[in-house]
Chains A and B, each alone.
Chain A
Amino acid sequence: MRKDRTWKSFTINKKLHKPDNCLIVSYIKYIVILVLLIFIQDQLIWLMSISKYQITPDIVIIMIAFIAVKEGQIFGTVTGFVAGMLLDIMGGSFLGLSALSYSIAGFAGGYFSNKENDKFLVKFNFLIVVFVCAFVSNMIYFNIFLQGAFLSFFDILLKYVLPSTTYTTIISVVYAIIPRRGEKKVY
């Protein structure tokens, strides 16, 4: 999948499918949605926290996964880094931790990218991408964040990583059930 995403093929694809102003519009859309999601993730996501471990969904990773699949590995990685840095600055936790986990998650999401066939963006297929990205991101984030908390790897996995990943995947069902214009039915 990743081999299709060379600069050359990207440029050709751009020229074939989208004019420049369309691209700019779509990037602006990404930025606006991402900033909105980062704001919600930082300021309002606690409203959806569950269990005594305060598990929350990661709605930013859903967008990063989408961008990674849609635009490719480099885009996914850079978007993950920028979004993570913003979240770190806003959040007051370890600066660079979200950036690190989101960068790698965006990179992982890029493996599902295929310009000729967006099958992983179709309906419930996207949930697989979200699960993988969220799992990668949470594994990195919680294992670094909970260093010194005297929790074993399996404790972190069972109490934080898997619940948060599952919660995020469940939330991303919203993406699957929202009807979109001109969606290709590829299964």
Chain B
Amino acid sequence: MRKVGELVISIKEYLILTLLVVISLIFLFSNDNTQIRFFRAVAIGFFGTIQSGVSAIPNVFELESENQFLREKNIKLANEVATLKEARLENIRLTKLLELKELTGADVVSASIVNKSVVKRRNTITLNVGENDGVKLNMPVITDDGLVGKIVATSDGYSIAQILYNNDLRVTIKAQRSRVDGILTYDGVENLIVTNVPKSADVNAGDLIVTSEYSNTFPAGIPVGIVREAGNLDNLFKKLLISPSVDFAILEEVFVLKYLPNEERQNLEELYNKQETP
């Protein structure tokens, strides 16, 4: 018995360690026990109150990384906002495109402007759509704001369009309110003008100008611009200065209207003109 006692005393460190390890393991494996859970819930509630008091103290070691994290998050969110804004604008454009399609009854091809000149006498825009997309010569180019011009050259993947600010483009128009006709041209300097409007015609500044049904190139009713100034050209005619509906300075995307001149009408008019010409 004494020997056993001596043995126990000689290994008491190990016995105590074993006992405490066993107790620890029992606790460790009893974490799901209901009573232990209840006890822990009470303890966590008590110490959580203290914790909430000290949580207001900032961690100086973490401030830099937290700052970095917030900056990165800020950049990500800013990018996300920009993407969402772009998506919103695209949504608006596509909605208008659908409206446009319904309005004209013709198919449209969405195009981006890849090159643009607006300071020459013959200004054009180059579009990233071509014959492969169904674009053909003389198709009207429009935006949801109004008329841009017409296609004058095409390749497989690109096309060039004359815009209203081009000497070579003439558009048959009419005042929407009074139905007075005229032909819109570019004066080569800065103005879109309509000449040969009778002095007695009822056209005033602010009147909306739209494409006329007399035109065989453009469908009728597409907004072209607003009369900015209605002055006298001479004793017989007026000269109208037109502000275009489309802002060419910020133009980025357009639609090519899959609308072609009526061939029968075109042929008949050409035939008649030939007979008239001596």
Contact = CB atoms under 8 A, between A and B. Distances in A.
Interface in B11-69: 12-13, 16-17, 20-21, 23-31, 36, 40, 43-44, 47, 50-51, 54, 57, 59-62, 65
Q: Tell me what chain A mostly uses at the interface: helix, strand, loop, or mixed.
A: helix
Contact of B13 (A77, A81, A90, A144): A77
Q: Tell me what chain B mostly uses at the interface: helix, strand, loop, or mixed.
A: helix
Given A49-B61, A50-B61, A74 B43 contact: no
A144 B25 CA distance: 11
Interface stretch (A14-22, A103-111, A116-124, A172-180): A103-111
A60 interface: no
Contacts of A97: 24, 28
A47 B20 contact: no
Contacts of A74: 12-13, 16
A43 B21 contact: no
Given A94-B31, A100-B24, A107 B13 contact: yes
Given A47-B59, A89-B40, A6 B51 contact: no
A44 B28 contact: no
B27 A96 contact: yes
Nearest to B53: A43
Contact of B21 (A47, A85, A104, A144): A104
Interface of A: 2, 5-7, 42-44, 46-50, 52, 73-74, 77-78, 80-81, 84-85, 88-90, 92, 94-97, 99-100, 103-104, 107, 110, 144
